[in-house]
Amino acid sequence: TQLLEQSPQFLSIQEGENLTVYCNSSSVFSSLQWYRQEPGEGPVLLVTVVTGGEVKKLKRLTFQFGDARKDSSLHITAAQPGDTGLYLCAGANLRGATNKLIFGTGTLLAVQP
Amino acid sequence: DSGVTQTPKHLITATGQRVTLRCSPRSGDLSVYWYQQSLDQGLQFLIQYYNGEERAKGNILERFSAQQFPDLHSELNLSSLELGDSALYFCASSGQGSNQPQHFGDGTRLSIL
């Protein structure tokens, strides 16, 4: 069974602080996606990383895919209250020609003004 | 707006009943995925359809079934409902090809009384 463990599970920080969320697995994924979900809404795609070692930046968010494609991290610089939400990593494995996603356990982030 | 439409937004029913959840994918997307989100299990993959045919199955109960119609919309049927089926049910769609990102609807919140 493929599992994706995220840490930390909960994070409450002050506006302006930096943070890193980790997503780890013992399985190799063909790609990894990061989503943010707010209450009452569906997960919204932030980024897709495909290549081992890949780093992608989205304004204040930096995403990295591990060299072995088993883990990923999300770093937020100078967090803002608008960053508050549930962050989910999700791995895709092309075995069986399906793009089904295995979701991580989630990191609930609260940024206090 | 992800372009994925799910109806209804909320559904309240009783144990033993049957319900149908509907999903319209983004224009041009051939793949539809169904996921269940609960507090204790997180986001779990249920089933995937591609251009009308079942592509992959996850942790979907035998009481649950799905189909994708020629116009590519999909329905998830849940029968003999139990209290434990109360959850958020999400539909996602993606384009053709490997590592295509999935875009999620806002979900249907199912409450079993």
Write A12-16 long-range contacts (CB < 8 A, 24+). Answer: A12/A109, A12/A110, A12/A112, A13/A79, A13/A109, A13/A110, A13/A111, A13/A112, A14/A111, A14/A112, A15/A79, A15/A80, A15/A81, A15/A111, A15/A112, A15/A113, A16/A78, A16/A79
Starting at the earlier edge strand, list the strands of the sheet with B64-68.
B5-7, B19-24, B74-78, B64-68
Locate all alpha helices (DSSP H) within chain A, ordered by sequence: none
List pLDDT tens digits, range B39-76. 888 899 999 999 999 999 998 999 999 999 999 999 99
Mean pLDDT, residues B72-86: 97
Q: Number of Cβ pairs closer than 8 Å across A and B?
A: 70
Q: Tell me if chain B has a CB within 8 Å of the CB of A102.
A: yes
Residues constituting chain B = 113
pLDDT at site B41 = 82
Q: pLDDT tens across A11-51, in order?
A: 999 999 999 999 999 989 988 999 999 988 999 999 999 99
What is the reported pLDDT for A96? 60
Residue of A nearest to B10 (CA): A40
Q: Determine whether the interchain pair A45/B103 forms a contact, defined as Cβ–Cβ distance below 8 Å.
A: yes
Backbone angles phi, psi at B84, to 5 degrees: -70, -10
Q: How confident is the model at residue B16 (pLDDT cuts 50, 70, 90)?
A: very high
Cβ of A42 within 8 Å of Cβ of B99? The answer is: no
- Tell me if chain A has a CB within 8 Å of the CB of B33: yes
Question: What is the reported pLDDT for A97?
Answer: 63
Is residue A5 packed enough to be buried (19+ CB in 10 Å), middle (13-18) or exposed (0-12)? middle
pLDDT for B72 equals 96
Say if residues A109 and A99 touch (Cβ distance below 8 Å).
Answer: no
- Express each pLDDT in A63-102 by its tens digit: 999 999 999 999 999 999 999 999 999 998 766 667 788 9
Q: What is the distance between the alpha carbons of residues A14 and A35, in angstroms, rounded to a whole number? A: 22
pLDDT of A54 above 90: yes
* Residues in A 69-98 with any Cβ partner in B closer than 8 A: 88, 90, 92, 94, 96-98
The most distant pair of C-alpha atoms in chain B lies apart, rounded to whole Å, by 41
Q: Could you give the count of Cα atoms lying within 13 Å of A49 in the half-sphere of its Cβ?
A: 30
The pLDDT-based confidence of B18 (bands split at 50, 70, 90) is very high
Residue at B37: amino acid letter: Q
In eight-state DSSP terms, residue B97 is S
